[in-house]
Amino acid sequence: MKIIVVLFLSAFAISLFAKERPFSIDHRIQLEGNEGWDCLTIDSFTNRLFITRGNHIDVIDLKTEQLVGKITEHIDGAHGVAFVHALNKGYATSGKSSKVIVFDLGTLKNIKEINVGKKPDIIMYDDFSSRVFSFNADDNSVSVIDPQNDTILKTIKLESNPEFAVTDGKGVIYVNLEDKSLMASIDAKDLVVKKTWPIKGCNEPTGLAIDSKSKTLFSACANEVMAVTDIASGNVVKHLKIAKKPDGAAFDNGLAFSSNGSGTLSIFKEHSNGVFEALQELETQKGSRTMAVDPNSHNIYLVAAKYEVSDAKAPQTRPKILPGSVELLVIKK
């Protein structure tokens, strides 16, 4: 009888440990000012979070959770940030001036301004090719920058406006093309578009994440699905149900995430056999549409704010942010 009880308890304990612990909002960090925000980018080398906010970029030390600096020089419409640690440089897009701002990672001071395509948005550094890629929304192009001398190597034309992009770390960059619901792959060495194909069942893809191990892409789509694409075939193999107004996407530690502006974080677990399990629809806050996941701590960061009541006569007008309400949400297991 004792043996039976022990076996039963052991099986029960195993089932408990096998179950994923839920995520929750652990705490909130007050941010200065009433400006809106766009992308959140973590520099895992220095343990800092960069938040693009209108005409400046907030830099948060993730250990102390304090604001340690702001990038303000020549920023007008900040969207994305990238890092080249070997050269101690950072790169930020200034959408309204159609420039990329180069800054010193230590001092956060401006080094140079580079003219790129119209309304640069997402920007990334590809370690494989040692190049910086600025994705320009208004002229459907990619400006490729040589960080050694901060000059434009080439401008790559795309079929539609680019949104988020990822690298496979082996010389290929993937980017969502929003208006035409397409995916494009770019050869990071030869600087040409290798292929463009439709993301079936996905309207207006924005956020994009990659699992390099399983060779899978995750696109957050406006029609409330996350499209899972097999890189080898280019086929969408799964549509995962998410909430309204998605923008950001991430993949970390076997989990795929979609941050949704309607006020939730959709979380899925990827199993080895290609099966995806819906783990959680975490209630966050309205407007928390972009995100960053710390690869070291696995904490998730979103920005949210409270808004004035919308004018019924002008429903398309973006509501104003209430003073003192902008916060950084820290999500943990």
| pLDDT given at position 11 | 42
d(CA 190, CA 30): 44
d(CA 134, CA 178): 16
Q: Residue 84 sits in a domain of what CATH number?
A: 2.130.10.10
User: Which among 176, 192, 208 is the end of a domain?
Assistant: 192
For the segment 159-166, the average pLDDT, to the nearest whole number, is 98
d(CA 105, CA 59): 11
Digit-coded pLDDT (tens) for 171-190: 999 999 999 999 999 999 99
pLDDT of residue 96 exceeding 90, the answer is yes
User: Comparing 4 with 49, which gets the higher pLDDT?
Assistant: 49
- Give the CA radius of gyration of the chain: 21
Digit-coded pLDDT (tens) for 54-67: 999 999 999 999 99
Whether residues 80 and 139 share a domain: the answer is: yes
| pLDDT given at position 1 | 41
Region for 153 from its dihedrals, namely left if φ exceeds 0, alpha if ψ lies in -120 to 50, beta otherwise: alpha
Examine residue 12 and state whether it is found in any structural domain, yes or no: no
Examine residue 306 and state whether it is found in any structural domain, yes or no: yes
| pLDDT given at position 309 | 83
Buried (b) or exposed (e) across 270-305, using 16+ Cβ within 10 A? beeeeebeebbebebbbbbbbbbbbeeeebbbbbbb
User: Comparing 13 with 175, which gets the higher pLDDT?
Assistant: 175
CB-based contacts of 21: which residues, under 8 Å, 6+ apart?
Answer: 333
The number of angstroms, rounded, from the C-alpha of 68 to the middle of its chain's C-alpha atoms is 22
CA distances from 255 to 176, 190, 199, 333 (A): 20, 32, 21, 12
Residue 193 — very low, low, confident or very high, per pLDDT cuts 50/70/90?
very high
How many domains does the structure of the chain reveal? Answer: 2
User: Comparing 308 with 27, which gets the higher pLDDT?
Assistant: 27
Whether residues 211 and 322 share a domain: the answer is: yes
Whether residues 187 and 206 share a domain: the answer is: no
pLDDT of residue 323 exceeding 70, the answer is yes
Examine residue 58 and state whether it is found in any structural domain, yes or no: no
Whether residues 182 and 203 share a domain: the answer is: no
Whether residues 206 and 333 share a domain: the answer is: yes
For the segment 12-39, the average pLDDT, to the nearest whole number, is 79
Whether residues 245 and 326 share a domain: the answer is: yes
| pLDDT given at position 274 | 79
CB-based contacts of 123: which residues, under 8 Å, 6+ apart?
Answer: 79, 80, 81, 82, 91, 92, 93, 100, 132, 133, 134, 135
Among 178, 159, 272, 158, smallest CA distance to 219 is for 178
| pLDDT given at position 25 | 98
Whether residues 209 and 115 share a domain: the answer is: no
Whether residues 187 and 121 share a domain: the answer is: yes
Whether residues 134 and 207 share a domain: the answer is: no
Side chain identity, residue 87: L
User: Which among 143, 177, 192 is the end of a domain?
Assistant: 192
Digit-coded pLDDT (tens) for 272-317: 877 899 999 999 999 999 999 999 999 999 999 999 886 656 555 6
d(CA 319, CA 262): 14
d(CA 165, CA 15): 38
For the segment 133-141, the average pLDDT, to the nearest whole number, is 97
Whether residues 277 and 333 share a domain: the answer is: yes
For the segment 251-279, the average pLDDT, to the nearest whole number, is 94
User: Which among 161, 192, 223 is the end of a domain?
Assistant: 192
What mean pLDDT, rounded, does the chain reach?
Answer: 92
| pLDDT given at position 318 | 73
Whether residues 317 and 205 share a domain: the answer is: yes
Whether residues 128 and 239 share a domain: the answer is: no
Buried (b) or exposed (e) across 2-14, using 16+ Cβ within 10 A? eeeeeeeeeeeee
pLDDT of residue 145 exceeding 50, the answer is yes
The rounded percent of the chain whose pLDDT value lies above 70 is 92
Are 51 and 81 in contact, with CB atoms under 8 Å apart? no
pLDDT of residue 134 exceeding 70, the answer is yes
Examine residue 329 and state whether it is found in any structural domain, yes or no: yes
| pLDDT given at position 12 | 39
Examine residue 149 and state whether it is found in any structural domain, yes or no: yes
Examine residue 157 and state whether it is found in any structural domain, yes or no: yes
- Residue that the structure tokens 């960080």 belong to: 147
Residue 19 — very low, low, confident or very high, per pLDDT cuts 50/70/90?
low
Backbone angles phi, psi at 87, to 5 degrees: -110, 5
Among 45, 111, 53, smallest CA distance to 80 is for 53
Examine residue 56 and state whether it is found in any structural domain, yes or no: no
Token pair of 11 as six digits? 């099986």
- Domain of residue 122: give its range: 73-192
pLDDT of residue 9 exceeding 50, the answer is no
d(CA 151, CA 100): 11
| pLDDT given at position 15 | 39
pLDDT of residue 3 exceeding 60, the answer is no
Among 124, 126, 122, smallest CA distance to 170 is for 126
Secondary structure (DSSP) of 87-132: GTEEEEEEGGGTEEEEEETTT--EEEEEE-SSSEEEEEEETTTTEE
| pLDDT given at position 311 | 61
Q: Long-range CB contacts (< 8 A, 24+ apart) of 153-161?
A: 153/191, 154/191, 155/117, 156/186, 156/191, 156/192, 156/193, 157/193, 158/184, 158/193, 158/196, 159/184, 159/196, 161/137
